[in-house]
């Protein structure tokens, strides 16, 4: 297993952009479209390569603070209001990871209108994201893109000197003369490979910090799950340590815990927050989340082991789990640890509709799942033998996540 891990920041950002757009067909590829248009405008304006790359990242992350499907759909309205809550949430989240602090400042005012004095507090790059975003929402996915060109430009031009910076509207008109710009907007919006050589890679420590941010984006959509990934990551890392994993492997397990529910970004918040029994259709939708996690992470070189540990946590040793129906011989120890950590955290943590279970009940459920050959019996016994230490680790991690949730989401 590699100890000198080096993961592309651009690949990870693209992965998150794809994940948050899975929640509705109407949002498919929206973040990548905005990233492409913003990057193209930056090239047209001859901004520096660093500014071009920053605008790609900002476009790919601009709406991660819109935590519900309704917020995302509302933001697709062309005349969307300024000063929205999702701008602040996205900016506050990204400020926690130093390599993305410039991106946070760009996103903080990406709906600022030019005629409202925005030039005084919003940088040019924020105005570029605003224009790129509004162009993207005007594109109709079911129509010929060249046939839409004139109506899009007309709608944008009507807001020149009002919503939009006049020089940026001029740059858009120049870009719009190329048919290739419009075709690329629809068919070829992934610039990660083009930018790869000019941008940074992350070591294991940086990866852990960035994926902690990912975990917040995943979990903070609902008070029901606000601290779940933090608890799973801490529990899985502690179990890995107790199982004799090397220090860097323990850190990899923590990263896998941060990412284990990445695919839940495709699940509407209303289903995540349903306290009662799910309908068969709702449960089938929930079962898709591990599949999406696996396929999204599969595209990132260097995350192969982390992906298996993260995404296979609903597989069972007897082959009855989901989504791949893998049996014991296909499930590594890391995947087995994650499965135990996920169940343990889910039943031990407090939820708004119920308190966490008592330790005796937790052990009874875990033991029963091990007897059924769903969970690894050795890992369940390891947890049982070290329950006070594991539970204290989980609680500490979740208390920290709850404080972050309060400061970022509820702004308290």
* CATH tag, 204-408: 1.10.3210.10
Burial of 82 (0-12, 13-18, 19+ CB in 10 A): middle
Contacts 24+ apart (CB under 8 A), 316-322: 316/372, 316/373, 316/374, 316/375, 317/373, 317/374, 317/375, 317/376, 318/372, 318/373, 318/374, 320/374, 321/374, 322/287, 322/290, 322/291
Q: What is the pLDDT of residue 190?
A: 63
Contact yes or no for 211/305 (Cβ under 8 A)? no
- For the purposes of burial, counting CB atoms within 10 Å of the CB of 218, is it exposed (0-12), middle (13-18) or buried (19 or more)? buried
Which pTM was predicted? 0.92
Instruction: Please report the pLDDT score of residue 351 as a whole number.
Output: 78
pLDDT at 4: 73
pLDDT at 191: 63
Cis omega before residue 323 (within 30°)? yes
Q: In angstroms, rounded to a whole number, what is the distance separating the alpha carbons of residues 16 and 266? A: 11
pLDDT of residue 2: 52
| Per-residue pLDDT at 198 | 55
3-class DSSP state of 203: coil
What parts of the chain have a pLDDT lower than 70? 1-3, 82-83, 117-120, 188-199, 412
User: What's residue 373's pLDDT?
Assistant: 97
Q: What is the pLDDT of residue 199?
A: 65
> Using CA atoms in the order 255, 258, 262, 267, what is the torsion angle rounded to 10 degrees?
170
Which pair of structure tokens corresponds to residue 63? Answer: 């709406």
Give me the pLDDT at residue 354, please. Answer: 78
In the prediction, which pLDDT does 100 show? Answer: 95
Residue-level pLDDT at 115: 85
* Number of C-beta neighbours around residue 325 at 10 A: 12
In whole angstroms, give the CA distance from residue 59 to residue 49: 15
For domain 7-198, which CATH number applies: 1.10.10.10, 3.40.30.10, 2.40.40.20, 1.10.3210.10? 1.10.3210.10
Contact 372, 232 (CB under 8 A): no
CATH 1.10.3210.10, the chain: domain bounds: 7-198, 204-408
DSSP secondary-structure letter at 81?
Answer: P
* Nearest to 33, CA basis, from 53, 54, 49, 17: 17
Interhelix angle 166-176/30-44, nearest 10 degrees: 100
CA–CA distance, 27 with 35 (Å, rounded to integer): 14
Tokens of 208: 């852990």
The three-class DSSP label of residue 351 is strand
């Amino acid at each position: 297993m590699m100890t000198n891990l080096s993961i592309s920041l651009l690949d990870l950002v693209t992965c998150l952009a794809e994940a948050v757009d899975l929640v509705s067909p109407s949002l498919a590829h929206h973040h990548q479209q905005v990233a492409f248009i913003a990057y193209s405008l930056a090239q047209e304006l001859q901004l520096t390569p660093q500014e071009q790359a920053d605008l790609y990242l900002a476009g790919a992350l601009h709406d991660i603070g819109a935590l519900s499907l309704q917020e995302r759909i509302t933001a697709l309205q062309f005349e969307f209001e300024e000063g929205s809550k999702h701008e602040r949430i996205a900016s506050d989240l990204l400020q926690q990871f130093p390599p993305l602090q410039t991106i946070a400042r760009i996103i903080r005012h990406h709906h600022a209108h030019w005629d409202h004095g925005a030039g005084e507090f919003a940088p040019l790059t924020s105005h570029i994201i605003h224009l790129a975003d509004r162009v993207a929402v005007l594109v109709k996915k079911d129509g010929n893109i060249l046939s839409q060109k004139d109506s899009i430009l007309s709608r944008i031009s009507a807001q020149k000197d009002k919503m939009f910076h006049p020089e940026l509207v001029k740059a858009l008109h120049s870009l719009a003369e190329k048919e290739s710009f419009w075709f690329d907007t629809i068919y070829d919006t992934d610039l990660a490979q083009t930018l790869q050589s000019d941008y940074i890679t992350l070591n294991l420590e940086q990866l852990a910090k960035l994926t902690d941010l990912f975990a917040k984006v995943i979990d903070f959509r609902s008070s029901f799950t606000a601290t779940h990934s933090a608890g799973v990551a801490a529990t899985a890392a502690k179990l890995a340590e107790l199982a004799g994993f090397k220090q860097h492997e323990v850190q990899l397990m923590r990263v896998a815990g941060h990412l284990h529910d990445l695919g839940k970004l495709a699940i509407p918040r209303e289903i995540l927050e349903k306290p009662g029994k799910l309908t068969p259709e709702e449960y089938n939708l929930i079962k898709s989340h591990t599949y999406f996690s696996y396929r999204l992470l599969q595209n990132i070189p260097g995350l192969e082991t982390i992906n298996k540990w993260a995404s296979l946590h609903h597989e069972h040793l007897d082959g009855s789990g989901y989504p791949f129906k893998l049996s014991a011989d296909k499930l590594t120890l890391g995947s087995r640890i994650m499965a135990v950590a996920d169940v343990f955290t889910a039943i031990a943590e407090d939820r708004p509709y119920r308190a966490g279970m008592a330790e005796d009940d937790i052990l009874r459920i875990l033991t029963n799942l091990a007897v059924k050959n769903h969970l690894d019996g050795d890992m369940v016994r390891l947890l049982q033998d070290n329950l006070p230490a594991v539970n204290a680790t989980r609680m500490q991690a979740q208390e920290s996540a709850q404080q972050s949730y309060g400061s970022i989401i509820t702004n308290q």
